[in-house]
Structure 1
Amino acid sequence: MTSATPLSWLVTGARGQLGHDLLEVLAGRDGDQVTAVGRAEVDLTDEAAVRATVRDWLAASAGRRAVLVNAAAYTAVDDAETDEGTALVVNGSAPRWLAEELSGRGRLVHVSTDYVFDGSATEPYPVDAPVAPRSAYGRTKAAGEQAIAAVGGDATVVRTAWVYGRHGGNFVRTMTKLEAQRETVSVVDDQVGSPTWSADLAAGLVELGAREEPSPPVLHYTNSGQVSWFGLARAVFEELGADPARVLPTTTDAFPRPAPRPAYSVLDGSAWTGAGLTPAPPWRESLHTAMQEGFRD
């Protein structure tokens, strides 16, 4: 049940790919109050600044139900391998500070990742699957999840994967550019996941934050279905009217990276729908919609 009470929203990471879409969704909610902060407004490695930001927002939210959507993160997966300390503060400590400030005073919706799993599964990961991160990024995101769970309160961790959107860098935008620049591109065919359009994810997170009833502590949200990066690249070429045969398969071993990538990133979304939330559209359908809106800008 969506709240009829006017809400006060705080969106962290508001300048990022997901943050842009969250603000677009929230702009359509009449009567709600929205505060957006990015890196320029608050340094997530500064505990005093983070706590003060939340306290000031809560003070300005009097009479409204307060919902904080934490879309901020240290997401440079490879850089985190040599900068795990900073990543741990942003991805592990900052979520704890947010949860502590909100406890008993508002709702926290925190975005997490498939990287908390080791990627060795052959079936979609349920929300209660054991975490076993293989990268620094994954370890720091798992630390954030654990910190929020330890604080408790009205908080939900939402894991997602393979997110792309109109803003910022992402795989779909990269493939769109490469289609115009190269005759062929080689893309790994041994990593499988569920491409997730950030506009869909944003709508889901707002639905979750706005509803009156409490939610489970952990949920998964991705577009439904699964495909390899190679298959996704071919789908992008098809949407552009290009020959998908120009996308060639390769292996992860052929493109070594500092941080290991999960071979299997498919998340089980049944807990999301089981909580009464709107099911995510199929990934291919959302890719078509996204491409119609344009990725060449």
Structure 2
Amino acid sequence: MKILVTGGNGQLGSEIKDLSGSYPNSEFLFTSRAEMPLDNLDAIDNALQSFQPDVVINAGAYTTVDKAESEPELADKVNHLAVAQIAKWVKANNSKLIHVSTDYVFQGDSNVPLKEGEPTNPINIYGATKQKGEQAIVDSEAEAIIIRTAWVYSTYGANFVKTMIRLMTERDEISVISDQIGSPTYARDLAKAILQIVHGAKWTNGIYHFSNEGEISWYDFAIAIRDLSSLDCKINAIPTEQYPTPAKRPKFSLLDKTKIKETFDVEIPFWKNSLTSMLNHL
């Protein structure tokens, strides 16, 4: 099986790369921004035509949420038009696609875990471009699985966990938002689930949700990072209003994972166990 992974140097792509050795019968191609720039539609086609993958794992995206507010065209090109191009190629060449999306497609005002069929209504540019990417895949009628995830972190790249460790090492006191609720996602857990689905006997098109189990705030997450890292730093809980950002953030991002667990027999670890595992890796 030939598997092409976009965003090969990102958090998720890097974790997939680490795990790919467990699948010696598959040939992987990990494309970086230089090899397959997702803002260049011709380059996307050329890379796909050259490698002829059986499966595309689209782990690449424009993810700078605040910057997207001032770069809407670039965000749309990467998160929507590039996705449409990949889906079109996949459909025409009888391949399969796993596309990674986000909780940001939702309004974020729920108070119960979000199921896949909930209406999407993004509150920022990033979420809107990701929602259009999802719709482009559905419209293409390609053999495709869309996995929405949230609060992704990894030993690779820049993320909340690594930022917190740096800040807590540098400062005696920090403030973290306590009224945005969700569950983090260790990119390695998501990578395992994706590879399990790709190499499994069952392929069922559709939208699925994946994040680690449990329900916490960013403040709770920061406290756990501090305690598990044995750092000495006072953490103050603050409301969203005290930390304004160019892009609005969903207040509630908790995803219901029942569908992916039942369809693909995927096991999802509890968030604190995964955080401990990641910190040990780090």
TM-score bin (small chain) = over 0.9
**TM-score of the pair, normalised by structure 1:** 0.92
Per-residue deviation, residues 149-189 of structure 1 (Å, max 9, x unmatched)? 00012101100000000111100001111121111110000
Counterpart position of 1:4: none
1:84 aligns with: 72
Amino acid at match of 2:88: E
Does 2:49 align with 1:68? Answer: no
Which secondary structure does the structure 2 equivalent of 1:275 belong to?
Answer: helix
Deviation of 1:243 (Å): 4.7
Residues of 1 paired with 2:11 and 2:261: CA distance?
Answer: 25
Partner residue of 1:101 out of 89, 93, 100 = 89
The answer to whether the 8 Å contact 1:230/1:249 transfers is: yes
Deviates more, 1:205-214 or 1:191-200: 205-214
Question: 1:10·1:69 contact (CA, 8 Å) conserved in 2?
Answer: yes
1:18 CA drift (Å):
1.0
* Aligned pairs, number: 281
- Letter of the structure 2 residue corresponding to residue 216 of structure 1: N
The corresponding residue for 1:237 is 226
- Mapped to 1, the partners of 2:98 and 2:197 lie a distance apart of 8
Q: CA deviation at 1:276?
A: 2.7
Comparing 158-167 with 34-43, greater Cα deviation is found at 34-43
1:125 to 90, 97, 114: 114
Structure 1 counterpart SS, 2:97:
strand
Q: What are the equivalent positions in structure 2 for 1:123-272 lying under 5 Å apart? A: 123-243=112-232, 246-272=234-260
Runs of 5+ unmatched residues, structure 2: none
Question: Structure 2 CA distance, aligned partners of 1:187 and 1:276?
Answer: 36
- Taking only aligned residues, the RMSD between alpha carbons, in angstroms, comes to 1.1
Following superposition, the deviation at residue 30 of structure 1 comes to: 1.4
Contact 2:177 2:219 in 1 (8 A): yes
Partner of residue 278, structure 1? 266
Which of the numbers 52, 56, 68 marks the counterpart of 2:50?
56
Segments ≥4 residues shifted beyond 4 Å: none
Using the size of structure 2 for normalisation, the TM-score is: 0.97
**1:23 corresponding residue in structure 2:** 17
